[in-house]
Chains A and B, each alone.
Chain A
Amino acid sequence: MSSSRKAMMKTVALLLSGLCVSGAFAQGSSDGKFTGIGRNATPKEVQAWDIDVRPDFKGLPKGSGSVEKGQDVWEAKCASCHGVFGESNEVFSPLIGGTTKDDIKTGHVARLKDAAFPGRTTFMKVATVSTVWDYINRAMPWNAPKSLSHDEVYAVTAYLLNLADIVPQDFTLSDANMAEVQAKMPNRNGMTFDHAMWPGTEFGKTGKPAKPDTKAVACMKDCAPEPQVRSKLPDHASNNHGNLADQNRTVGAQHGMQTESKPAAAPAAAPAGKSNAAAAPTAILEKNGCVACHGMEQKIVGPGFSEIAKKHAGQTDYLVGKIKNGGSGVWGNIPMPPQPSLSDDDAKAIANWLAGAGGK
């Protein structure tokens, strides 16, 4: 491109950008280098997607929710995976437990130093309420993310904070008081940036990256003492991951170890043993996360499919309703959450199978 033509193009680009700046849908980039690529986002578009909430609460929408209301939402939509008191370890790691009133005073969770204390709950680790609010808002309930109203998110967050003894039973959490609550988080002082594993220099005071925490030396001769094995898989666990011979290439410098003496078991038979039972709609159950809570035979969080099939044989319509809308009280105190993303056809396929109607 000749320089005069270049100059002309530049003028055209300038003119174009001058013409467009008033419109919300201005075309072209601000520097004109990649003309015609990308456009300005409208304020409504930014609002629709800019949902993050930072620890300084930038991005937090106005709203409020009480502990009491949070309990209702929790029991309907959250308890099935997280337990009534956020203590469940059935589907996801426990959220609540392991913190004390004293931790709220110090901002350090004492049990994090206690190697004998089992597990680490979310509230033992999380330092900021913003994190909890943001994640519930964007990603919960697990099977229907972004379906809660802002007030419901405040309410559920309030309920969790109450379970963790950070706020009282009659508390209402809002955008106005969240900072006060954040100042009481049990592990608010439990985080350090003093390490070499942040890939930038933004956290450091020196502007230089920290040094790695180990300084191994590449010794070449007569280095370590005579090797002593301190840990290996016990023999009875050798087939825990299936037959290793089947997980290696069948040709090459080595083959896989035979860890299984018997051929693999046939797939589990259809539940309830009905002669007219249809095959399990495995793909639908997998896709919708049903098998996270229901085993084929056994209870996980909810009852096993075979138990349901036994109890509700022939009741296709009843089962469709329960699958779509959820429910509680039939199998214990952990409710089945509604399944808003499940199509009617899929719900019917599952119900038909459970009812033993053979796909009718």
Chain B
Amino acid sequence: MHNNQMTGRVRKAPENFVQGGDVGKVFAEAKAGRRTFIRSAFAAAAAGVTATAARAQNGQNVGEGDPNILELPAHSKGLGQPVAAEGYGKPSKYEANVQRRQSPGLTQTRQASVSFAPLQSLFGIVTPSGLHFERHHQGWWDIDPSKHRLMINGMVKNPKVFTMDEIMRLPAVSRFHFIECGANTGMEWGNVAVPTVQYTHGMISCSEFTGVPLITLLEMAGADLKKGKFILAEGADGSSMTRTIPIELITSGEVIVAYGQNGEMLRPEQGYPLRLVVPGVQGVSWVKYLRRIEVGDMPYAAKDEAVHYIDLMPDGQHRQYTSIQECKSVVTTPSGGQMLLDKGFYNITGLAWSGRGKVKRVDVSVDGGRNWRTARLEGPVMSKCLTRFNIDWVWDGKPAIIQSRAMDETGYVQPTYQQNRAVRGTRSIYHNNSIQSWALREDGEVVNVQLA
């Protein structure tokens, strides 16, 4: 489309639909970019022209020229802020809508709750640390790192104690990994329950984590890595969260005792000053405020692995120690609760990941899964890490159902809801990796749906 006028696609509003002095108000609101105000003004005049009205000031049909170009703004004619006005910077005030949020009614108390990352507003694969989803069992703490200790005990020659100073002296590794709560998308096992991708999939985040491979510390303590088949990781907070982790992930060097996140120290909400990083495994195993590692010869059946993060199968048996986050993807643009500005070109984009390794391929459908096209994977593509995908699309203004389907390097293909339910029924809570559907309506609004 070379013509930026595109007037043919903008339906004219009825004549004289705004009277007298209101004209000035409408013009001022339009200048301020208040689409919603204009929508309601137009809606009051005539139903069915709302979206087109909003489009009229979206860089098209500009007349003499755009006042944003013709009239120089204050920031071109004045003195700006000095350096270090904010010692630790903040996002633009115009980004204030991009926030972690609670899902109303999910829990009764905010100390045993979760906040969701705003996936609909993020780019690339890294989640800004301040937007990383939170899950706390007994409230979060800001712990004095000079007093924090890590103990290694159990089947070791010499139980050891480390200070943060000592841990940070050891050779460090930095790796990008996703962390996903086992309950992510869990509200939707039975039916659609929440409106946006923030609430359906926002219990996932991705960061560069820096720390020491746990195997280094275990070797320093002289751990028995043959008889010691499991470790128990324990936190220092009120719940002293404990989880069993297989020794295989430790000996492979994957598990990291991390203090760094995205170039800075961990945030308190993420376990400052020390947390476990267990790539590919659900978030509850990434023990925060990590104070102790015990090596043992049997699993520990800690509360969260014996009572909560278990999956009820239709035969009445619970799957215990389910931990891997299987291959999954979701389209974040466009996604539920959003409204497309106009017909025409869009870059459909989203995130894919697998707890078993690298994402190999992502396909996208705009017709509810009848036909698929393979998306571009944006680099870098890393193991047990978020992968950004995107694909070109021209929306013709007709209803569409947008889906993505990921495949990982083991060949595993992300299943549909029907395929998952056929095995696991509808009473599961955790590990829902089904294909997500977003229905785009003629008016440009996108809603969360599930298909039969």
Contacts and interface: CB of A to CB of B under 8 A. Distances in A.
Interface of A: 26, 29-31, 33-34, 37-41, 45-46, 49-52, 54-56, 58, 90-92, 108-110, 112-113, 115, 120, 122, 125-128, 130-131, 134-135, 138-139, 142, 145-146, 187, 190-203, 212-233, 237-238, 240-242, 244-251, 253-259, 286-287, 289, 291-292, 300
5 contacts: A193-B319, A199-B248, A223-B369, A241-B196, A291-B109
Interface in B124-179: 137-139, 151-153, 157-162, 166, 169-170
A131 B307 CA distance: 9
B318 interface: yes
Given A54-B301, A110-B316, A241-B196, A257 B191 contact: no
Given A34-B170, A253-B333, A291-B109, A197 B323 contact: yes
A39 B170 CA distance: 14
Contacts of A196: 324
Nearest to B285: A199
B122 to A, nearest CB: 10
A83 B437 CA distance: 40
Given A145-B238, A255-B339, A199 B160 contact: no
Given A29-B220, A213-B423, A227 B451 contact: yes
Contact of A258 (B39, B407, B413, B419): B39
B60 interface: no
Interface in B64-117: 94-95, 97-99, 101, 103-104, 108-112
Contacts of A246: 97
Interface string B319-353: 11111101000000110011111000011000000
Nearest to A137: B240
A298 to B, nearest CB: 13
Interface residues of B, number: 138
Contact of B97 (A113, A145, A250): A250
Contacts of B369: 223-224, 227
Given A125-B310, A198-B321, A218 B372 contact: yes
Contacts of A191: 306, 310, 317-320
Contacts of B310: 125, 191
B138 A197 contact: no
Contact of B198 (A120, A214, A245, A247): A247
Nearest to B101: A247
Given A202-B247, A221-B371, A250-B97, A138 B341 contact: no
A38 B161 contact: yes
A127 B301 contact: yes
User: Which of B281, B316, B423, B437 has most chain A Cβ within 10 Å?
Assistant: B316
A230 B301 contact: no
Nearest to A220: B372
A135 B448 contact: no
Interface string B360-376: 01010001111111000
B431 A197 contact: yes
B303 A131 contact: yes
Contacts of A255: 35, 338-339, 341
Nearest to B191: A231
A217 B169 CA distance: 48
A78 to B, nearest CB: 15
Nearest to B361: A218
Contact of A232 (B94, B239, B320, B447): B447
Contacts of A257: 337-339, 445-446
B316 A190 contact: yes
A131 B97 contact: no
B427 A202 contact: no
Given A138-B240, A197-B326, A228 B452 contact: yes
